[in-house]
Structure 1
Amino acid sequence: MDQRTRVLVVAGAVVVLAAALGVQAVAIDRGTVVEQNAEVGEPYPGNTLVGVHSWQNDGRLVEITPDGEIAWEYAIDDSRFFGIDPLREGEAAPGIEPEEDGNVVLFALGEVAQPEECPEEYLSYEASFQGTLDPHEHCVYNRVILMDRSEKEIVWEYSWYDEMIHWHEVHDAVVTEDGEVAIIDMGKNRVFTVNEAGEITWEWYAADHIDQGTEFFEEHVEGSPHVDDPDDYAKASEVDDWIHWNDIVETEDGNFHLSVRNYDMLIEVDPETDEIVDTIGQPGNHSVMQHQHNPQHLEEHGTVVIADSGNNRAVEIDADTEEIVWEYTGPEGDPLQWPRDADRLPNGNTIITDSRNNRVLEISPAGEVVWRFEDPDGEVIPLPYVADRLPVGETAGGPPGYDLDETTAADHGVTEQVREAETLARWVLPTWMHLPQILNLLGIVLGAAWLLGEGALYGWRRYRTR
């Protein structure tokens, strides 16, 4: 085949592929998928409230019925929503006393702030800094909001600015037993409590307690056989994504459980003494957990249900022995991708937020899917962060994994790697583009690159023969 024929064939293929992709862009509408499987078990009753991180800063809260209908929604432009905490009737809270379970909710979000809105101190870094993709996303307005959902009324709020929406968004907050709000602040690497008047009543900085030079760092990082270079776990700069902690829970005795994602650990802090009184996990020991999110502490049973994001699974761990007593990696041939929430329900089911698959699953004690809400194109819950079954959320708890049917990890083989590549592409490509469309686009790019190469070669030959 001569060069002219090759060029015509490849050019024709590129045109066909481009036309096919254009048709798909207009025609594809996968909608949402709702599955209820009464043959293997009953879903726990109630609607599901989802906090949506989103792929493109279009976060929101969405309440979904068992039939997949949208019962309630709240959104803010240019934002990412994270942790949610539905309150119980009569529970102490700033500015309101809930009249029914689940109608008042505390939630955390990061909102993109334009440069003219940002304090000068948060505009000192160039847009080329690693992790900052757009100069107009250079500052984040962090908000912790308590809302009466019946009127969408904000009854209390605490907010502050920080450097950028990447790594500096507030991820979680919780109403404490005494009616204050405890907040875990990823940007400033601190945990603090705030009263109704907005006054900080307690503050705990990670740099003072777990960074290089502390006893904790020496014991748990430098002393870990799973850590090759302790400097990888040390704070490098003021804007470094150092610990990336992402969850806070108050214990029955008033301590705080904190999820330190980049250390692969959960730690318990006593606010009276500022001491770390307990730990679960070990830096670099990914057999226990890796880059975990949103642990649910079943204190009466001595276990913790964890979204083990880095291992693409939900696990339950014995808090004393760190033995895995329950594990789930997804339906056969359809693995979880970066799950970020897992809660045991009172009937023994477990609800899992499967973030990169844009779906929420509820599985039976035997590991069978009894309810599923899936959003393939990311129109309703793009990149969900957390899901709570209303009215009372994760505080309802449930039986421990010891009492459930044995559930072990499925071997998803190469499917897991393929799905991971497909879902990671959603950070840069439209969410309607799945594997077939990605391969279609790849064909266009490779064909166009080949044509450019042929053109360059032809030009070079013409130049050499002059």
Structure 2
Amino acid sequence: MTPHPRSSLARVRSALTRTRIRAGFGIVVLLSTVVVAAAASDGLSTASKEAVPEAPPTENHTVVTESGRTGTITAYAPSGEVRYYNNSRTKYFDVDPVEGDPLTVEYTATDTIHTEGANCGAPPCARNVIERVDLETGDVEVVYERFDHKEAAAEWHDADRIDERHVLVADIVADLVFIVDTETEIIEWLWDAQSEFPLESGHSFPNDWTHINDVEYIEDGRMAGRIMVSLRNQDRVVFLDREEGLLEGWTLGGENDANVLYEQHNPDFIPESRGGPAVLVADSENGQIEEFQREDGEWNRSWLWEDERIQWPRDADRLPNGNTLITDTHGNRVMAVNESGDIVWEVESTLPYEAERLEAGAESESGQSARELGLESRTVTEDAGGTGGFGIDPFAFLGGIVESILPHRIYNALIFVAPVWIGKTAAAAIAVGLLSGLTWAGLEIRWKLRDAGIWFRFPVSRERK
């Protein structure tokens, strides 16, 4: 029997339509693959000393720590060359120059223990250390260490030296702040967050309840002798008196008040003698560097800095020359911005945690407040530039949409576990490629079934005869 002409024509049209659809999906998948391959080939790595990029020249030594997939501590000479590099610990966190010897630094680090033994009954566990290294000789000295029963949320992200024997420690796993005599290893003072905060606050207890990630012993001004503490998961920076405990009227931020702070890192206190009281802080989940000035018994925002690239910053130090040294973790860089808010120095880093300019002293101890310097805020709206000669980058555009839809904590968590080369553009390309590939596969299955005479109709209906 001769096929009907219209039936043959319909089959030809169907075949042409399928060919066009296949070509379209093929082009999209190919473009996505090219974008991802280019991102992977250009991916930054600091897993070895040879892979670490050189920094631009500057007047002082700069030290950068990393606590991501590869833990590293890197010291740059003023020329920009790598002067010291170590990746023997699993993670590196806070780093400070030793007073009177800026080329010796003290830092906190963590080793993950994966094997069962006397120091770890149920792996993984953590070994937290405070170490001191001479950057000229490379000699390393363990100042104090402790083993903890688990690895997740069990690191010491910060320690602050009080004097030659005593160190103030932020203890995440136990939700404590303590002062230890490093010679006797006796804990002489501690503050338990449970003494002031209900267990309903922060994250679920006991799993990373407060995430105390920073401590600072204040040496100058009317707050001298007090202790500043960052409770990341309570979105608060609090002040402690060693006799009285929490100084309620001085607390900066509030529970789930993301308009002030959202899971902040590394606040620095600036005393009255340098234009304070003020607190310079990395407002991490908000993707901003902020400063708050104490005025009439309240904290008021006095400065804010952000650009299009900044993503989960975790440190900011005010330098003596008025610049601000910023550690942008998911922006994969450490940079200095001047008083006008312009980036004047920048070095790439995979997942940096903290940076220090050694000759400038620890953190912001020699810097002035934003109000004293007359700093003007810089926001994304003011900083936004063009899209380049080819107009809008579709993958970057889609990546921006994904970032705006996902909650900050989820988006940053995904970036943290993903390869470092996966930025907004690569992530969007992967998503588009996978979605296109799955859709294409679904269509091919549908076409095969139809060609075999198998049809599915939704909703299912019964044809009346």
TM-score, length basis structure 2: 0.76
Instruction: State the 1:183 CA deviation.
Output: 0.8
Structure 2 partner of 1:112: 112
Cα RMSD between the aligned structures?
3.2
Give the deviation of 1:85 after TM superposition.
1.8
When residues 321 and 444 of structure 1 are mapped into structure 2, their CA distance, relative to the original with a 3 A threshold, is same
Greater relative contact order (Cα < 8 A, sep 6+): 1
Within 5 Å, give how 1:369-388 maps onto structure 2.
369-373=343-347, 375=348, 381-388=349-356
2:302 is matched by which residue type in structure 1? V
Partner of 1:260 in structure 2?
231
Higher mean displacement: 27-36 or 363-372? 27-36
Whether the aligned pair in 2 keeps the contact of 1:343 and 1:397 (CA below 8 Å) is no
Alignment of 1:171 onto 2:165: no
Alpha-carbon shift at residue 288 of structure 1 (Å)? 2.6
Q: Report the alpha carbon displacement of residue 236 of structure 1 after superposing the two structures with TM.
A: 3.5
Q: Does 1:69 align with 2:69?
A: no
Question: Does 1:249 pair with 2:263?
Answer: no
* Residues 460, 368 of structure 1: alpha-carbon distance in 2 compared, 3 angstrom cutoff: same
1:342 corresponds, among 316, 341, 344, to: 316
Aligned position for 1:103: 103
Give the secondary-structure state (helix, strand or coil) at the position aligned to 1:291: coil
Deviation at 1:104? 2.3
Q: Distance in 1 between matches of 2:118 and 2:332?
A: 32
Partner of 2:373: 404
Cα distance between partner residues in 1 of 2:91 and 2:43: 24
> Equivalents in 2 of 1:157, 1:206: separation in Å?
26
Residues 429 and 14 of structure 1: CA distance in aligned 2, closer, same or farther (over 3 Å): farther
2:19 matched residue in structure 1: 5
**DSSP 3-state at the match of 1:84:** strand
What is the deviation of 1:329?
1.5
Pairing partner for 1:49 from 63, 74, 90: 63
Q: Distance in 2 between matches of 1:259 and 1:393?
A: 17
TM-aligned CA distance change 1:426 to 1:273, over 3 Å:
closer
| Alignment-derived partner of residue 306 in structure 2 | 329
Q: CA deviation at 1:11?
A: 6.6
Give the superposition deviation at 1:189.
Answer: 0.7
- The answer for the alignment partner of 2:253 in structure 1 is 281
Query: What is the number of equivalent residue pairs in this alignment?
Result: 401
Q: Which one-letter code corresponds to 2:108 in the other structure?
A: A
Are the structure 2 counterparts of residues 257 and 15 from structure 1 closer, same or farther at C-alpha, using a change threshold of 3 Å? closer
Secondary structure of the corresponding residue to residue 16 of structure 1: helix
Q: Residues 353-372 of structure 1 correspond to what in structure 2 (within 5 A)?
A: 353-372=327-346
Code of the residue aligned with 1:325 in structure 2: it is S
Please give the alpha-carbon distance, in whole angstroms, between the structure 1 residues aligned to 2:453 and 2:176.
Answer: 64
Partner of 1:88: 99
Closer/same/farther in 2, CA of residues 407 and 445 from structure 1, 3 Å limit = same
Tell me which residue corresponds to 1:146: 132
Structure 1 residue 293 and structure 2 residue 265: aligned? Answer: yes
Amino acid aligned to 1:162: D
Q: State the shift of 1:258 in Å.
A: 0.6
Post-superposition Cα deviations, 1:230-269, rounded to whole Å, max 9, x if no partner, equal: x3x166433x121111101111232221111122221122
SS in 2 for 1:167: coil
Give 1 or 2 for the bigger CA radius of gyration.
Answer: 2
Measured in 2, the distance between the counterparts of 1:234 and 1:435 equals 29
Which secondary structure does the structure 1 equivalent of 2:322 belong to? coil
* CA deviation profile, 1:115-135 (whole Å, cap 9, x unmatched): 424756655xxxxxxxxxxxx
Q: Percent of aligned pairs with the same residue?
A: 26
Q: CA–CA distance in 1 between the matches of 2:225 and 2:354?
A: 24
2:72 equivalent to 1:60: yes
Cα 1:411–1:454 change in 2 (3 A) is same
SS at match of 1:165: coil
Normalising by structure 1, report the TM-score: 0.76
Change (3 A) 1:368 1:108: same
Structure 2 CA distance for partners of 1:365 and 1:25, relative to 1, 3 Å: closer
Does structure 2 conserve the Cα–Cα contact (< 8 Å) formed by 1:10 and 1:447?
A: no
CA contact (8 A) 1:51 1:385 kept: yes
What do residues 287-317 of structure 1 show as CA deviations (whole Å, max 9, x unaligned)? 3322111111111321111111122211111
C-alpha spacing 1:29/1:169, structure 2 compared with 1 (3 Å): closer
Unaligned runs of 5+ in 2: 1-12, 45-51, 385-395, 405-410, 456-465
Return the match for 1:313 from 288, 291, 305: 288
For 2:420 and 2:331, how far apart are their aligned partners in 1? 10
